């Protein structure tokens, strides 16, 4: 099991509302959806880690 740590930030209001709705409809916790989004972002920008 992975270790989870708190991470606080601010996001656009409309993004928050959409995240909440997606979480409700998919029954996937918001934190898991955020993990997925961050993983996708890091893959997109993987070149930064190759330096």
pLDDT digits (tens, 9 = 90+) for 5-26: 999 999 999 999 999 999 999 9
| pLDDT score, position 47 | 93
Please give the Cα distance from 28 to 34 (Å, whole number). Answer: 10
CA distance 14 to 11: 8
Report residue 50's pLDDT band, with 50, 70 and 90 as the boundaries: confident
CA 28 – CA 31 distance, rounded (Å): 8
**pLDDT band at residue 1 using 50, 70 and 90 as cut-offs:** low
pLDDT tier, 2 (very low <50, low <70, confident <90, very high otherwise):
confident
**Residue 13 has what pLDDT?**
98
Q: Under 8 Å CB-to-CB from 33, ≥6 apart: which residues?
A: 19, 22, 23, 26
Model confidence, pTM: 0.85
């Amino acid at each position: 099991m992975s270790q989870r740590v708190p991470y606080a930030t601010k996001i656009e209001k409309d993004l928050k509302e959409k995240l909440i709705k997606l979480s409700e409809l998919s029954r996937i916790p918001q934190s898991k959806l955020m993990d997925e989004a961050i993983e996708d972002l890091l893959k997109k920008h993987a070149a930064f880690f190759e330096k």
